[in-house]
C-alpha cells in the first residue's frame, strides 16, 4: 500500500476552520497524520508541520497535530519548531495558563 501525500490538507483545514467546522478539521488532521506516521512517511508529516499556518486553524487542530505527532517527535525534524509556533498561537488564543495546561502531555 502506497500512501500518497494529500496535497491540499492545509487548504482543507483552513476552509473547515474558517467555516467553524472544527470537529471535521480535527478528524481530518488526526486521520491523515496517523496514516502517514503509520506508513513511516515522516518527511511528509514534517513538510506539513513546516507549512501549516498556525494562525489559520483552531486551537483544537493545533492540539490534535501535537498529540498525534508526539510519539514520533524524535523522527520529525520540524516538530520542535512547529511546537514553538503552536505554543505561541495557543497562548494567544487561550491564555498562558490554559495553553500551558493543555500542552503538558503534548510536548
Dist. CA 70–CA 33, nearest whole Å: 11
For residues 100 and 24, give the distance between their C-alpha atoms in angstroms, rounded to a whole number.
Answer: 25
% of the chain surpassing 90 pLDDT: 89
Backbone angles phi, psi at 17, to 5 degrees: -70, -35
* pTM over the 0.75 mark: yes
CA neighbours closer than 13 Å in the CB half-sphere of residue 47: 11
Residue 1 — pLDDT band, cuts 50, 70, 90?
A: very low
The cell for 96 is 498562558
Q: Alpha helices, DSSP H only, in the chain?
A: 9-18, 22-38, 42-51, 59-69, 79-94, 96-103
Chain segment 21-73, per-residue pLDDT in tens: 999 999 999 999 999 999 999 999 999 999 999 999 999 999 999 999 999 99
Name residue, grid cell 500512501.
3
Instruction: Tell me the C-alpha distance between 48 and 35, whole Å.
Output: 13
Mean pLDDT of the chain: 92
Amino acid at each position: 500500500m502506497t500512501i500518497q501525500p494529500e496535497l491540499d490538507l492545509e487548504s482543507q483545514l483552513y476552509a473547515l476552520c474558517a467555516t467553524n467546522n472544527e470537529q471535521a478539521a480535527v478528524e481530518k488532521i488526526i486521520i491523515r497524520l496517523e496514516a502517514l506516521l503509520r506508513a513511516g512517511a515522516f518527511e511528509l508529516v514534517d513538510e506539513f508541520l513546516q507549512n501549516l499556518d498556525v494562525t489559520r486553524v483552531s486551537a483544537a487542530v493545533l492540539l490534535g497535530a501535537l498529540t498525534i505527532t508526539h510519539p514520533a517527535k524524535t523522527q520529525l525534524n520540524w516538530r520542535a519548531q512547529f511546537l514553538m509556533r503552536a505554543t505561541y498561537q495557543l497562548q494567544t488564543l487561550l491564555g498562558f495558563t490554559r495553553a500551558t495546561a493543555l500542552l503538558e502531555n503534548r510536548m
